């Protein structure tokens, strides 16, 4: 068994932080990445947290992670699981870690009685598209993510 | 003052349900809409709910709503507010209700010390694009929403 997965626990913040940072750089979002490991420790230590993570290991070495959060579908009237990040470190790709993380997320969703797992993918990411299609996901094209933050948020909310 | 807004409370489930149903039909998602008003009453009555809603009234008549949920940005290491639905009933459009709902959502986000408000828009929705651009939102193109549910979820998670 080369691959193992487990839920992230208190103390894993630096592992998750390194992996999400890698993802942010890879997506060209370095400037937006301001989280520090202690931010992640806060939700890992909070039994009421709306989010959590799963870490995948290759021969015992941390190699990837999935960070999820509770979500809710108003169409279904039930909770869902939202997958915020799925990251496999570059040196560990094409070994099945992404697939194992997706399986672990699906198991968690079923255990939590969620109606669905949902996540966003950039339309240019063909490698992700192959992984998610193979997992049986429906992929909806033509979404735009909208974000209001900083001065624009202050202005609108004041 | 023709427009007023307030937080949804227990008993408002049928109002929200009618509005989200209208939105589902308008987006061609009638088959996916299985929620009943009692589903919404459950989160309205739950002090630990991860979601909530704001209702907008035109001269006292319920005319639109915003349904939000707690979310988390792993890039920022802070909570955000995710806007799941923004609906203005067809007979009440172009009167400023959408803008007032966005303002109320922004106020709530600031009150909750959220780093941002985020939401999804279909790229074809030019009316929504105008509203959100005017509100100061950044709009990111090229996202795909992926969803795993039903048999595909059972299969992957078993």
Domain ranges of chain B: 3-157
Contacts of B40 (CB under 8 A, 6+ apart): A74, A77, B12, B13, B16, B17, B53
What pLDDT sits at residue B27? 85
A8 part of contact set with chain B, CB < 8 Å = no
- Place B137 in a pLDDT band, splitting at 50, 70 and 90: very high
Note the pLDDT tens digit of each residue in B35-81.
999 999 999 999 999 999 999 999 999 999 999 999 999 999 999 99
Distance between CA B78 and CA B61 in Å, rounded? 36
DSSP class per residue in A58-116:
ETTEEEEEEEEEEEEETTTTEEEEEEEEEEE-GGGTTSSHHHHHHHHHHHHHHHTT-SE
The pLDDT of B89-101, averaged and rounded, is: 95
Taking the CA of residue B112 and the nearest CA in chain A, the distance in Å comes to: 12
Give how far Cα A28 sits from Cα of A2, A32, A43, Å.
Answer: 31, 9, 26
User: CB contact, 8 Å: B85 with chain A?
Assistant: yes
pLDDT over 90 at A27, yes or no: no
Q: Which of B48, B109, B152 sits opposite A153 (nearest CB)?
A: B109
Nearest to A43 by CA among A33, A34, A53: A53
Chain B CB within 8 Å of residue A77 CB: yes
Q: Which residues of A form the catalytic set?
A: 132
For A87-106, the pLDDT digits (tens) are 999 999 999 999 999 999 99
Q: What is the ipTM of this complex?
A: 0.94
Residues of chain A contacting residue B136, judged by C-beta atoms under 8 Å apart:
148, 151-153, 155-156
Tokens representing B113?
């010390």
Which residues of B are annotated as catalytic?
132
Q: What is the pLDDT of residues A105-141, one digit of tens each?
A: 999 999 999 999 999 999 999 989 999 999 999 999 9
- Using DSSP, state whether B124 is helix, strand or coil: coil
Q: Which residues of A touch B14 (CB under 8 A)?
A: none
Strands A138-149 and A51-58: unpaired
A84 contacts B156? CB cut-off 8 A: no
CB A84 within 8 A of CB A67: yes
Closest chain A C-alpha to B149 CA, distance in angstroms: 4
Could you tell me the two tokens for B117? 């408000």
> What's residue B1's pLDDT?
82
pLDDT(A76) > 90: yes
Q: Are strands B138-149 and B116-122 parallel, antiparallel or unpaired?
A: unpaired
A3-157: in CATH 3.40.800.20? no
């Amino acid at each position: 068994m080369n691959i193992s997965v487990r839920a992230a626990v208190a103390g894993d913040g630096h592992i998750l932080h390194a992996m999400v940072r890698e993802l942010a750089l890879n997506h060209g979002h370095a400037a937006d990445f301001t989280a520090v490991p202690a931010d992640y420790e806060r939700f890992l230590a909070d039994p009421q947290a709306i989010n959590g993570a799963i870490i995948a290991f290759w021969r015992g070495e941390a190699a990837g992670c999935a960070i999820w959060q509770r979500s809710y579908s108003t169409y279904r009237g039930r909770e869902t699981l939202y997958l915020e990040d799925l990251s496999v470190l570059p040196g560990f790709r094409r070994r099945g870690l992404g697939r194992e993380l997706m399986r672990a997320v699906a198991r968690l969703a079923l255990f939590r009685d969620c109606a669905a797992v949902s996540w966003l993918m950039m339309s240019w990411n063909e490698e992700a598209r192959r992984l998610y299609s193979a997992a049986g996901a429906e992929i909806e094209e033509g979404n735009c993510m909208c974000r209001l933050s900083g001065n624009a948020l202050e202005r609108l909310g004041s």
